[in-house]
Structure 1
Amino acid sequence: MTRLFNEPAAFADEMIEGFVASHGRWVRRVSGGVARSTRSTPGTVALVIGGGSGHYPAFGGLVGQGLAHGAAMGNLFASPSAQQVYNVAKASDNGGGVLLGYGNYAGDVLHFTQAQEKLRKEGIDCRSIAVTDDISSAPAREMHKRRGIAGDLTVFKVAAAASEAGYTMDDVVQIAERANHRTRSFGVAFTGCTLPGGERPLFTVPEGRMAVGMGIHGEPGIGETDIPTADELAELMVAKLLAEIPEGVQISGARVVPILNGLGSVKYEELFVVYRRVAQLLAEAGLDVVDPQVGELVTSFDMAGTSLTLFWLDEELEQLWLAPADAPAFRRGAVTAQALASDDGGLADVELSIPAASAESRAAAVRVLAALGAAKDVVDANAEELGRIDAIAGDGDHGIGMERGVRAAVEAAADAVVRGAGAATTLHFAGDAWADKAGGTSGALWGMALRAVGDALGNANAPDGGAVATGVADAAAAIMNFGKAKVGDKTLVDVLVPFRDALEAGVQDGRSLTDAWGTAVVAAQQAAEATANLLPLMGRARPHAEKSLGTPDAGAVSMALIVKAIHESLLQENTIENSMKETA
């Protein structure tokens, strides 16, 4: 378990602060993560990588000359927000465009894509590479669905070396894609990891058993077996990887970089025993081993496990892999020391202006704040259960992420209301804060939803049932368009769509917003319960679909809880208003 922490919610920020304080030769703090502390060649491509915290040395430990220019660092096991990625990219840009690199997880894809779109609108050439090396997470015919684990290192290293050598953006992207195509990983675990403040591991493995095909966020494996000997484990991992040779590679005489990665509690001496047999097996297969890496490169707190990566080289990839690099956690050869960069990361928060709003809209903003407060209370009360549900087939962090998001939303909304904001502005501030502080898939989607409702309400008029129903419909459309989920995929969409339909029907029938919302809540609750009978087709739970059968989706449950809490808030407001009228 993780023993040394202060406030669990502050762990990631305090970790980054300490990392920068101890590694100032390589990195400087910028809003959203870290960037190189040294200057880079003007006009070159900037590689900005990132993901959730909890995986050191990924991602901050890979920032430095010859490697990444910056790292967006999200909360624990949660993708950085789009704003964090944008901030780090702006601080890292050298004028030659920005390549965003990340593991292929739903939340990362959502947030990095949003940041990419924002950078492009500003005229910055921005591209992305989502690493897909984990062979356990999807079959070969669906490589685009595979997640990224320790293979992140190979893709980031060669892309950064290409940038350092002055390659154009098109050529850097081509190199990164080729490296991704030629990288394969397979992992196992003996125990799950425990997040700071957590009372139990995100998943458990029976005594004497080993999870096969686990993920670095604590996702359970796709199967179990008895714990093998070190040699038997090496044989299992090598056999799995040699069963899938990248297209265009001839195995006899091929040159390959093996990376034996410790996930946190399996230490170097054990890894060396395993690697001894890995090296024998690769030699027996007729492979030429180049620059093997054994150690902790992508971790998962205290998870006891290991993964093996094979990076199949060609002449150019080998040259780039062996190029000099100087980062806190990965050093090779000698780089030419560069001058320190100016410390202009913009860590200070900028106070946003408040657009003018009518008295009616300002009054509605107070009701919006009350609704968000009700959402916060219900999330706080159910966070542990939401995490338990999520851990059945995912990584168990849904409750934590929802807590971070809704608390930030309430704080931002309260600040907006005090400053005289209308309903739209209050929801915009709340949505942006939710997305920024929660990160992850749910953070992106809830931020998007609040913004869509805010757009529909505006700052001019007193919101009515029609405007609210329109906002909910717009939120559903935005979420489904961006997240690509549809009804039946076992996500929050399975609740949002029937809630939307019932709300629209109630408003069209002339019912009050409170009554229409109440009817829609019933539909939402029924839909959330019904997700127990579905198999997940999106997100981290997808590779473990059968494990989740019989358990509702955590995102669907949290949405049903929140809309019910908001209905109770509406009922309370009506009671207060009626009481005031009677008193008058």
Structure 2
Amino acid sequence: MTRLFNDPAAFADEALEGFAAAHRRWVRPVTGGVVRAGGTPGGQVSVVVGGGSGHYPAFSGLVGRGLAHGAAVGNVFASPSAAQIRSVARAAHGGAGVLLMYGNYAGDVLHFGQAAERLTADGVPALTYAVTDDVASAGPGEAGKRRGIAGDLPVFKAAAVAAERGLPLREVRDVAAHAGARTRSFGIAFSGCTLPGADHPLFTVPASRMAVGLGIHGEPGIGEAELPTADEAAELLVATLLKELPEDVAAPAGQRAAVILNGLGSVKYEELFVVYRKVAALLAEAGVETVDPEVGELVTSFDMAGVSLTLTWLDDLLEDLWRAPADTPAYRKGVLGEPEASAAPATPAPDTEDEAIPAASDASRRAAGTVLAALEALAATVDTHVDELGRIDAVAGDGDHGIGMQRGSTAAREAARAARDLGAGAATVLAHAGDAWADKAGGTSGALWGTILRSVGTALGDQEAPTAARVAEGVAGASAAVQRLGGAEVGDKTMVDVLVPFAAALTGAVAAGDGLTAAWDRAATAAAGAAAATADLLPRKGRARPHAERSLGTPDAGAHSLALITRAVHGVLLDHQ
């Protein structure tokens, strides 16, 4: 468990601050993460990697020559927000565009995708690539749904070296895709990890058992087996990966592979070496030549006791990129010469976003007070149920839904209060709240709740008094935006299973002539019923999908929290009639 911390909510920020202070030769801090201390040489594509905290040396420890140009770092096990990613990318931009790279988790996909869109609109060409190396998280026919785990490292490195050699942006992404298509990982765990401030791990493994097919966000494995000896663990890891070769690799014999035996946080190096001796022997027996193997902690999960094995099947190009020198705080290989004096970093473009508060009518400013009261009630509801939400989420996910909702709702409430105090109207208060929620919570729920608040605000505007019809229009717009952004549908066991019927009930009641308070009451009742019904569903999206059967009988945490919030907001509407 994590023993040394101050405020758990500040853990990730304080850890990043300390990391940057300890590694000034390699990195400098910027809003949202770190970039290379010497900047990106002018005219070079920048590779910006990122994800949640709790995985060191991923992601900040991989910034330096021969590897990433910058890293965007979110809260513990939560993706960085689009604003954080955009900030890091702008600071790392060398004038030739940015490739944003991350593990394939829903929150990262949302936030990095949004950041790429905003960067491109800013005049900074940006592309994305998600690593999908974990064979346990989806079958070969659904490789695009696989998670990214320790395979992040060889894929990040291949792209970064390609960028340093002057390849243009799209070709750098092509190299990343080539490396990703030839990378496979598989892991096992013996105990779960405990987040800062928590008094129990996110999951437990029975004595003399191991979890098979772990994730790196504290997710439980997809199955259990008897606790193996070191040699038996090696045999399982190697056999699993040799069963699934890339399409262009006919057989392991005669192939070369980059090999990573990765510790997840509390398996000691000596234990890893005991396992690796057997891994090396088994690969040799299969006719595989290992190239520059890495044994150690490369992508961790706080204090999880577990190991994973990664194989990147090399061709001449990938072997050259894998062997290339690197110099970062946590990963060094070979010897790099001094950077050329002419390779001056490009000056990042200034941030031109207008932070001024738009003018608002008196009616909209009065409505902003009701909006603030609703956000205060929302945050109080989350505070009351934070442990329950975490418990529900931990059944098949990583157990951080309550913590993430608490971070986001608290930030939204404070941002809304500050905007209201400056005379903002309802739309601007909701926009500031949505941005703050996405920024502080990160993860999937951060992106989606930021979208919900902004969508409702857009419908309300800053000039006219809100009406029941406008509120219903905003909620319907939020429902559509969440489905479009997250890709979930009704029946996938997500918050969409509540948001869609809530929006439909609200729209129908308003159209039938109900006032806002009565219509919201009907819709909140529909939301509660829909949330309870998710207990009978199997998840088809998100981190819970690989553990679908475990969640049967338990409602979705995001759906449940949304239903609780809709009822809390109804109480505010009663008070403000």
Would you call these one fold, judging by a TM-score over 0.5? Answer: yes
| Residues 95 and 346 in structure 2, CA contact (< 8 A), matched pair in contact too | no
Residue of structure 2 in register with 1:391 after alignment: 394
In structure 1, C-alpha distance between the alignment counterparts of 2:348 and 2:163, rounded to whole Å: 22
Residue of structure 2 in register with 1:94 after alignment: 94
Q: CA deviation at 1:119?
A: 1.0
Residue of structure 2 in register with 1:314 after alignment: 315
In structure 2, C-alpha distance between the alignment counterparts of 1:277 and 1:261, rounded to whole Å: 15
Q: CA deviation at 1:341?
A: 8.0
1:433 maps to a residue whose letter is A
| Residues 326 and 333 in structure 2, CA contact (< 8 A), matched pair in contact too | yes
| Residues 265 and 297 in structure 2, CA contact (< 8 A), matched pair in contact too | yes
SS of match in other structure, 2:411: helix
Residue of structure 2 in register with 1:21 after alignment: 21
In structure 1, C-alpha distance between the alignment counterparts of 2:350 and 2:41, rounded to whole Å: 24
Q: Does 1:475 align with 2:478?
A: yes
Larger deviation, residues 37-46 vs 378-387: 37-46
1:277-300: CA deviation from partner (whole Å, max 9, x where unpaired): 000000000011110100000001
| Residues 408 and 437 in structure 1, CA contact (< 8 A), matched pair in contact too | yes
1:382 maps to a residue whose letter is H
1:493-549: CA deviation from partner (whole Å, max 9, x where unpaired): 100111111111111111110111011110000000000000000011001100100
Residue of structure 1 in register with 2:446 after alignment: 443
1:359-379: CA deviation from partner (whole Å, max 9, x where unpaired): 000000000000000000000
In structure 2, C-alpha distance between the alignment counterparts of 1:346 and 1:299, rounded to whole Å: 34
Taking the TM superposition and a 5 Å limit, the aligned residue runs for 1:255-294 are 255-294=256-295
In structure 2, C-alpha distance between the alignment counterparts of 1:152 and 1:517, rounded to whole Å: 45
In structure 2, C-alpha distance between the alignment counterparts of 1:40 and 1:106, rounded to whole Å: 29
Larger deviation, residues 331-340 vs 177-186: 331-340
1:328 maps to a residue whose letter is P
1:65-107: CA deviation from partner (whole Å, max 9, x where unpaired): 1110000000000000000110000000011110010000000
| Residues 54 and 300 in structure 1, CA contact (< 8 A), matched pair in contact too | yes
| Residues 135 and 184 in structure 2, CA contact (< 8 A), matched pair in contact too | yes
Residue of structure 2 in register with 1:233 after alignment: 233
SS of match in other structure, 1:188: strand
SS of match in other structure, 2:259: strand
| Residues 31 and 345 in structure 1, CA contact (< 8 A), matched pair in contact too | no
Q: CA deviation at 1:344?
A: 8.4
1:75 maps to a residue whose letter is N
| Residues 386 and 398 in structure 1, CA contact (< 8 A), matched pair in contact too | yes
Taking the TM superposition and a 5 Å limit, the aligned residue runs for 1:366-381 are 366-381=369-384
2:165 maps to a residue whose letter is A
Taking the TM superposition and a 5 Å limit, the aligned residue runs for 1:212-251 are 212-250=212-250, 251=252
Q: CA deviation at 1:345?
A: 8.3
Residue of structure 1 in register with 2:575 after alignment: 572
Inter-CA distance 343–312: structure 2 relative to 1 (3 Å threshold): closer
Taking the TM superposition and a 5 Å limit, the aligned residue runs for 1:481-560 are 481-560=484-563
In structure 2, C-alpha distance between the alignment counterparts of 1:347 and 1:565, rounded to whole Å: 41
In structure 1, C-alpha distance between the alignment counterparts of 2:25 and 2:566, rounded to whole Å: 49
SS of match in other structure, 2:75: strand
In structure 1, C-alpha distance between the alignment counterparts of 2:42 and 2:348, rounded to whole Å: 18
Taking the TM superposition and a 5 Å limit, the aligned residue runs for 1:142-161 are 142-161=142-161
1:275 maps to a residue whose letter is Y
Give me the CA root mean square deviation: 1.6
1:504 maps to a residue whose letter is T
| Residues 47 and 159 in structure 1, CA contact (< 8 A), matched pair in contact too | yes
Q: Does 1:333 align with 2:334?
A: yes
In structure 2, C-alpha distance between the alignment counterparts of 1:351 and 1:124, rounded to whole Å: 18
Larger deviation, residues 162-171 vs 521-530: 162-171
Overall identity of the aligned pairs, in %: 64
Inter-CA distance 350–20: structure 2 relative to 1 (3 Å threshold): farther
Larger deviation, residues 157-166 vs 120-129: 120-129
| Residues 35 and 71 in structure 2, CA contact (< 8 A), matched pair in contact too | yes
In structure 1, C-alpha distance between the alignment counterparts of 2:160 and 2:345, rounded to whole Å: 21
Match of 1:563 among 551, 566, 572: 566
Residue of structure 1 in register with 2:53 after alignment: 53
SS of match in other structure, 2:90: helix
Residue of structure 1 in register with 2:12 after alignment: 12
Residue of structure 2 in register with 1:456 after alignment: 459
Inter-CA distance 412–64: structure 2 relative to 1 (3 Å threshold): same
Residue of structure 2 in register with 1:112 after alignment: 112
Residue of structure 2 in register with 1:205 after alignment: 205
In structure 1, C-alpha distance between the alignment counterparts of 2:72 and 2:373, rounded to whole Å: 33
Q: CA deviation at 1:346?
A: 11
Q: CA deviation at 1:122?
A: 2.1
2:183 maps to a residue whose letter is T
1:121-171: CA deviation from partner (whole Å, max 9, x where unpaired): 122221111000000000000000000000000100111111111112222
Give TM-score scaled by structure 2 length: 0.98
1:390 maps to a residue whose letter is D
In structure 2, C-alpha distance between the alignment counterparts of 1:530 and 1:349, rounded to whole Å: 46
Q: CA deviation at 1:389?
A: 0.5
Residue of structure 1 in register with 2:42 after alignment: 42
1:269 maps to a residue whose letter is E
In structure 2, C-alpha distance between the alignment counterparts of 1:342 and 1:48, rounded to whole Å: 15
Q: Which runs of 5+ in 1 are unaligned?
A: 575-584
SS of match in other structure, 2:137: coil
| Residues 41 and 345 in structure 2, CA contact (< 8 A), matched pair in contact too | no
Residue of structure 2 in register with 1:582 after alignment: none
In structure 1, C-alpha distance between the alignment counterparts of 2:352 and 2:534, rounded to whole Å: 40
1:316 maps to a residue whose letter is L
| Residues 48 and 89 in structure 1, CA contact (< 8 A), matched pair in contact too | yes
Q: Which runs of 5+ in 2 are unaligned?
A: none
Residue of structure 2 in register with 1:129 after alignment: 129
Q: CA deviation at 1:439?
A: 0.3
| Residues 30 and 346 in structure 1, CA contact (< 8 A), matched pair in contact too | no
SS of match in other structure, 1:275: helix
1:177-226: CA deviation from partner (whole Å, max 9, x where unpaired): 01000000000000000000011100111111100001000111000001
Inter-CA distance 449–258: structure 2 relative to 1 (3 Å threshold): same
SS of match in other structure, 2:57: coil
In structure 1, C-alpha distance between the alignment counterparts of 2:348 and 2:23, rounded to whole Å: 16
In structure 1, C-alpha distance between the alignment counterparts of 2:338 and 2:448, rounded to whole Å: 43
1:292-320: CA deviation from partner (whole Å, max 9, x where unpaired): 10000000111000000011000011111
Give TM-score scaled by structure 1 length: 0.96
In structure 2, C-alpha distance between the alignment counterparts of 1:525 and 1:74, rounded to whole Å: 31
In structure 2, C-alpha distance between the alignment counterparts of 1:156 and 1:498, rounded to whole Å: 41
Q: CA deviation at 1:39?
A: 3.2
| Residues 39 and 92 in structure 2, CA contact (< 8 A), matched pair in contact too | no
Residue of structure 2 in register with 1:431 after alignment: 434
1:309-355: CA deviation from partner (whole Å, max 9, x where unpaired): 01100001111111111001110112233479889889999982100
2:391 maps to a residue whose letter is R
List structure 1 segments (4+ residues) > 2 angstroms apart after TM superposition: 336-351
